[in-house]
């Protein structure tokens, strides 16, 4: 039921990328929402801030189609929490492991977005023909068809990726040797630095969100350092 719930939520939130566009599909919003629903808001905030920064310098302007950070944030936070519930514990290493698994899915989502955009070209041409003929209902149907296509694509993507990712994490993570766990610990410390570097690259273009996310992650990094030492 949790997989179904997250998939449907992902489909609804994903519509924000093509209509309405009130920014609920941004990682810094999506990940905390998913974390709140699954009972772990803190993990949602951490993942949301991190993924928001990773591709902040890839803006969806003109014909540029960046990696789908929305899907990455949703999959990382949901898999981290669900796998942690299955294993009986949660850790920063588990979040790092999930992040490494699902970052490539941002590029798969990018390809899916490109396919949807190209396939909607026929709908746009049909809507123009309906407009010339005065067929208002035809225009509405084509708009709704385009939205339904996006919704179903996101639901299907999440429904396939999330259960498989959780199964992989639950199966592999307990088997990792101590050296791999230490490497994941270092990854937890390195990823916020990488995100902060990407944010600094675009600080003049989008100052508020990158600054907030970088500050949040730096504070979290300091807290983790005190916890380790």
Sign of the CA dihedral with 201 first, then 203, 206, and 209 last: positive
Q: For the segment 115-135, what is each residue's pLDDT rounded down to a tens digit?
A: 888 888 777 777 777 777 777
Other C-beta atoms lying within 10 Å of the C-beta of residue 134 = 8
Rounded to 5 degrees, φ, ψ at 32 are -60, -35
The model's pTM:
0.81
Distance CA 188, CA 42 (A): 15
3, 162 contact by CB (below 8 A): yes
Look at residue 122 in the predicted model and tell me its pLDDT.
78
Domain boundaries, the chain: 2-228
Q: What residues in the chain have per-residue pLDDT under 70?
A: 57-63, 195-229
Mean pLDDT of all residues belonging to the chain? 83
Look at residue 146 in the predicted model and tell me its pLDDT.
82
């Amino acid at each position: 039921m949790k997989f179904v719930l997250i998939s449907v939520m992902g489909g609804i939130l994903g519509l924000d990328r093509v209509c309405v566009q009130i920014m609920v599909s941004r990682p810094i919003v999506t990940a905390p929402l998913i974390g709140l629903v699954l009972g772990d808001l803190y993990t949602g905030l951490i993942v949301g801030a991190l993924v928001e920064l990773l591709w902040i310098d890839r803006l969806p302007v003109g014909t540029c189609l960046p990696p789908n950070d929305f899907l990455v944030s949703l999959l990382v936070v949901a898999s981290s929490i669900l796998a942690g519930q299955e294993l009986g514990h949660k850790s920063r290493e588990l979040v790092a492991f999930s992040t490494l698994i699902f970052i490539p899915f941002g590029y798969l989502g990018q390809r899916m977005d490109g396919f949807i955009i190209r396939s909607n070209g026929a709908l746009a041409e049909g809507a123009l023909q309906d407009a010339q003929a005065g067929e208002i209902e035809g225009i509405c149907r084509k708009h709704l068809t385009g939205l339904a296509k996006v919704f179903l694509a996101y639901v299907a993507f999440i429904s396939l990726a999330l259960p498989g990712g959780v199964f992989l994490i639950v199966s592999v993570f307990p088997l990792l040797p101590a050296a791999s766990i230490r490497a994941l610990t270092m990854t937890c410390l390195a990823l916020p630095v990488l995100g902060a570097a990407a944010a600094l690259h675009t600080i003049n273009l989008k100052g508020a969100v990158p600054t907030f996310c970088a500050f949040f992650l730096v504070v979290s990094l300091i807290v983790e350092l005190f916890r380790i030492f």
